[in-house]
Structures are given as structure tokens and as C-alpha cells.
Chain A
Amino acid sequence: MKILLNILLIILFLGYSKNEEMISLKCMVEITDYRGEGAYFSISIIDDKDLYLKTVYVLGTDKTWFSEMKSFWKHLKINDLYLDDEFYPLIEGISGPTISGGETRILQLKIPKLLYNKTNRLRFETAVEDKGYYTDDINVELNNESLSKSYQGNGFIRNIKFILPVK
């Protein structure tokens, strides 16, 4: 019975998410000149009470390290999402070791239109294996005005900027 209910919920969810209108943000992340393992990122939309609404991007291939992004991991566990394939990164090697400094990534973030230009925020959580974890490496308001500026990160992110929206 529970399984049936789950399947129903998933179908509903998928249907919902398909019809959901998205906006695209182009985003450039520059990583600081640290040495060691690649950084794990998760980029999530949170509301003004710090609740996770949606995770829009995850960087890093090795699931075992996801738990280092503690807040994100908690969210996955509470919502029973950590088995969901959607959260596994698409490409291998997206977070290779950054030996020579300042690797840069350009990402495309898909944000549900319903969540944009409201009181929500965009949170970049970063962790590097045993080098540390930053809940709010970047934490900015999710609206046109705020995203038109560039930001410096508190942890492994040196710099971040957006172009909005790409069609």
C-alpha cells in the first residue's frame, strides 16, 4: 500500500515538475587556490526559514562524500531523497583535484519560476573531503537585483557571478 502511494506521489511529482516553468541562470564559479581533493558542491534554493525547497545542482561524483555537506545531507535524509538518481552528478570528473589554483566552472542552473524573485535564497554549500565544510559559502537572495552582482565566497569559492536569465 505504502509502495503504491509512493509510486503515485512520484508520478504526481514528475508530472508537476515537467510542467513547472523554469528559468535558466548562467553562473560562473571560481574556486580558490587550495590544494587537495576536488570540492563537493550543492546548490539549493532555501526559503527564509532555511528550509530546503529544491536542490538545483550537485557537483562531485562520489556519493560517500555527500554526507560532508552536512546541512544538505540532512535535508536529503529527512526527505528520503538520498537514493534519488537526480542528485547524482551527471559527469564524472567535474570536480577533479584542483592542484593549480583557481579552477573555474560555468554552470547552468534551472530555477523554478515560482521560486524566483520571491523571498527565497540561493545557497552554495561546499565541502572538501577533510579540509572543511561551509554551509553558506555563498548565500544570496534569489532575485534579479541580487544576482546581477558578483560575490566573494566564504570558503572554497573565490568568486561567483551570474548572467540572467538565458532565455
Chain B
Amino acid sequence: MIKGIWRSTHFLLAVSVSIFLIIASVTGTFLGIEAIIDQSQKEAISDLDKISLKKTMDSLQNNFLEVYEISVTEKNQVLVQGITSKGFETVFVNPNTGKKLDIVKPKTRLSNFMKNLHRSLFLKKTGRILMGFISFLTAMLVITGFLLLINRIGGVNKIFRPLKEKQFFRKSHIELGRLFVIPIFFIAISGFYLTTSRLDIFNSNKSTHYDYEAGEKYVDLDKFYLDKVKNVIYPFSSSENDTYKIQLSNRSITFQQGDNSLLSENIHPTPFLIRAWAYWIHTGESNILIAVLLTLTSLTLIFFIISGLFISSKTSWALFKFSNIDFNEAKIIILYGSETGNTFQFAKKLLKRLHQDGIKATICSLNKYNFFPKAQVFIFMTSTYGEGDAPSNADQFAYKFKKYKQLKTIEYTVLGFGSKSYPKFCSFAEDINSLLSQEDNYSELYPFFKINNQDANEYLSWEKKLISRFNS
């Protein structure tokens, strides 16, 4: 029962987020590739944690007449605005030598377009809220998907066991699911945080401010490494009132020019730090491995949507729409138990065949088991889930079977579907068969039969023999 809820929830969530998720993952793929390309360019510097701010500031003195600002971008590039012999320039520099690397290229239109679409669908605040909500739903999707996965595999401890699933989409959905469950979850959560943190929810968290007297404490620029530096604003003029302002990853400080004495310090509040972390994780702009992982995950999400569609076209729609014809009139009732929809397909096939012969038959999931006043024959067709459990539309059968006793004598047969590679091959069908054999008013119409891997030939020969029983 619980599993059915997870499955329906997973399916409904997927349907409602799929359009947005497609947009997010296609643009995400683009942005991920862009982040990878950016970081493999020559301006990207990987060892910022070994370069001290002092070294960079000293080296800039030789190359600039005046520096306005140094900033370390999210992509680990060091950007300097200042005056060179050519006038005012904004350039990337090598932080070791202070030499100019390349002139700043504006972001391409395409890139801005993708980023905008990814963040807010061009709908400004509304779009942001929407995308934030989608991120939240995606996180839920991951959780329900994970629960289904565990259920499917038969426990958390078995999560890395090889799969026995044959069908391509189903197999890859599960296979990729267990590989990417963590990255997707983190992307969703960080995306959710990035959007909600923009919405002023965290206003109450003020940073902590300290003031110091000149000469009380001194700033040692040799102790700041560039990986922790966001930007440095140089003093506006040589006037004593103008100070250096440095933004570090966890605080900002100002200090006096000349003797470097610390004047004030602002410690950033926790949400600020979480936001920085979420940005780091969500954009991969400063770590090429994360950028690669993000790109792969985006591609996987696209694939998930496609494979999920294929799976659900077989399973979930059927689970939702199914309610049946006239149970009161039918002579033959096909009772099916199907997790993934395959058995249901066979059951429908049989129903069609019976209708062709003009037999009053109907089809009903095992959980919908009820009084069937005119029933003479029950045909059970069921798969087995995981370690010998009932499929999700059959898990209440045992209870309902006891509750609704049929009045007439019933002839029955049981057909089990499964795979021989599972130790509990068709064991749920076996359970039904033994349950019925203990009942007085049930007699076997045709012996219990098992079908391996949905073998169509095995099924057809079974169907032929069964139908010949009706005609005899």
C-alpha cells in the first residue's frame, strides 16, 4: 500500500515538474559545459590557496599605475580594474606576476539567455519563485524515487547489487537513479536555497560588526590567500579617511592605508555562508569536477524524463485510469497483479481474446477483488515484486479474499510472471495458488503455470491450452 503511494506520488511529481525540469536541465547542461570550458581556459588559476594577497598586490604595483579594485571571480579568475599606460582597464591578471592575461570579454548573449531562463524563465520574481518551487518538488521527487528504488532492490544494504531488469528504459532509469540520487538531491536543494534566499526570508540575520582603534590590531596581508578573498577595494584617494576594504569569504574588513591597522570587521551571518556553499555546489564555477558532475547530472535528468515517460506510459497511467466494466455480469474474471504494467498488458491481451470468442469476461486488479455474483472462472495473472512480495496493486488481496467470499463454486487458474534470475521466482503467484487450493468451493481449471521474462511464446501456448478448456 505504502509503495503504491510512493509510486503515485513519484509519478505525479514527475508529471508536474517535467516541463520545467526539461528547461532547467537543458539550460543546466549548457551552463555546465560553459563552466567546464571557462575553467579549462588559460586565465583559470587553480592554486589560489597558495597565493597570498600581499604577493598579488605587490606584483600589481609593477604593472599598474593605479589599482581600483581586485576581484576574484567565482570562476577563480583574478580581475583587476585600474589604470595602466593605456588608461583605465578591466583585465584578468596572473596573480603571481601581476601581468595582464586577457581583456575581459562580455558574457555572450546566449549565455545570459540561458542563465536567465534557468533562473527565472524570464518571469523575474514570479519565475524565481516558480523555479524555487520546482527545485523543492525535484528534491521530493528524488526522495520518492529513492524509496521506490530501495523497495525495488529489496533494502538499503542491497543498493549496489547488479540489476536483473531486462528492459532498457526501466533498467537505465534504476541504474542512473542510484548513481545520481545524491547529485540530483544536492542540486535541487541548493537551487531551492539559492532562490529562497533571494526572497528576503533571512533578513533577520545581521552580520556582527566590530570597530577597532587605529593601532589596536594590524592586518597581515601575507596571511590572506586568494581562495578566501572575494575582492579588495583600494583607497579612493591618499586621504587618511579612505581605507582598504576587503571582502573575504566569511567576513569583510577595512584597514588603514600606510600602517595597515585594522579599523573594522564584519562577520557574515550563517545564511550568507550557506548561500555561498549553495552557489558553489549549484554552479560548479570554481571547481571543474563539480562542473563536469553538474553537466552529467543535467543530461541524466533529461534522460530520466524520457525514460520515465516510457515507463509511465506503460505503468502509471494504467494504475490511475483503471476502473472496470460490469463486474456483476461477467462470467470470467481476470484478476491481475502488476507492478510495472507488463502483466497488465498480458491480462488485457487475454481479455481481448475472450471477448473475440463472445465470452463475458472482465478484468480487475487483485486489490479490487470483490463479490462477483455471476462469476464461474477466475484467471489470476500476477507478477512478484522484489523479494516475493505482492505488486502494489495486489498487496491487499489476501485480506479482501477473506472478506468477500464468493457464493458459487469457482474454477480457477493461476499464471505467474517473473524472472528466473530472481530466487523468489513467481513466489507471489505460488502463494495465491496455495491459498486457493485450500478453499472448498474452488477447483482448479488448469494447472499453475509460470512465465519467465515475459516470454510471448510461452504465454501464447498457455493461452491456447486455456481456451481449449473453455471450448471443451
Contacts and interface: CB of A to CB of B under 8 A. Distances in A.
Interface of A: 24, 26, 28, 35-37, 61-65, 85, 88-93, 97, 99-101, 104-108, 110, 129-130, 161, 163, 166-167
Interface in B238-297: 245, 247, 251-252, 266, 268, 272, 275
Contacts of A62: 112, 116
A110 B89 CA distance: 12
A41 B410 CA distance: 82
Given A85-B106, A129-B125, A36 B198 contact: yes
A97 B106 contact: no
A104 B198 contact: no
B158 interface: no
Contact of A63 (B79, B112, B252): B112
A57 to B, nearest CB: 11
Nearest to A110: B88
Given A99-B268, A106-B233, A24 B87 contact: yes
B196 interface: no
B268 A106 contact: no
B73 interface: yes
B91 to A, nearest CB: 10
Contacts of A88: 106
**Residue from the set A93, A105, A130, A166 with the largest chain B CB neighbour count within 10 Å:** A93
B115 to A, nearest CB: 8
Interface in B88-146: 88, 90, 104, 106-107, 112, 116, 122, 124-125
B157 interface: no
Contacts of A35: 200, 203
Nearest to A161: B236
19 contacts: A26-B68, A28-B236, A37-B198, A61-B112, A62-B116, A63-B112, A91-B79, A92-B107, A93-B73, A97-B198, A99-B268, A104-B233, A106-B68, A106-B236, A107-B68, A129-B124, A129-B125, A163-B236, A163-B237
Contacts of A104: 233, 245
Given A85-B106, A100-B207, A100-B252, A24 B88 contact: yes
Contacts of A106: 68-69, 81, 233-234, 236
Contacts of B90: 90-91
Contacts of A107: 68
B299 interface: no
Contacts of B234: 106
B124 A64 contact: yes
B348 to A, nearest CB: 51
Nearest to B83: A166
A131 B201 CA distance: 14
Given A100-B207, A129-B125, A90 B83 contact: no
The 4 A-B pairs at the shortest CB distance, nearest first, are namely: A108-B88, A106-B68, A28-B236, A100-B207
A72 B231 CA distance: 29
Nearest to A163: B237
Contacts of B81: 106, 108
Interface in B188-219: 198, 200, 203, 207
B66 to A, nearest CB: 8
B74 interface: yes
Nearest to B202: A35
Interface in B310-358: none
B169 to A, nearest CB: 38
A140 B18 CA distance: 52
B106 A90 contact: yes
Contacts of A24: 87-88
Contacts of B237: 163
Contacts of A93: 71, 73-74
A154 B234 CA distance: 25
B268 to A, nearest CB: 6
A24 B65 CA distance: 15
Contacts of B83: 108, 166
B200 A36 contact: yes
Contacts of A64: 116, 122, 124
Contacts of A63: 112
B124 to A, nearest CB: 7
Contacts of A130: 124-125
Contacts of B104: 90-91
A121 B74 CA distance: 36
A137 B116 CA distance: 27
Given A89-B106, A163-B236, A99 B116 contact: no
Nearest to A35: B203
Contacts of A163: 236-237
Contact of A100 (B71, B74, B79, B268): B268
Given A63-B112, A64-B122, A108-B88, A101 B236 contact: no
Contacts of A91: 79, 90, 104, 106
A11 B289 CA distance: 46
A153 to B, nearest CB: 16
A93 B104 CA distance: 13
Contacts of B71: 93
A37 B116 CA distance: 15
Nearest to B113: A63
A26 B69 CA distance: 13
Nearest to A104: B233
A101 B88 CA distance: 27
A101 B266 contact: yes
Nearest to A93: B73
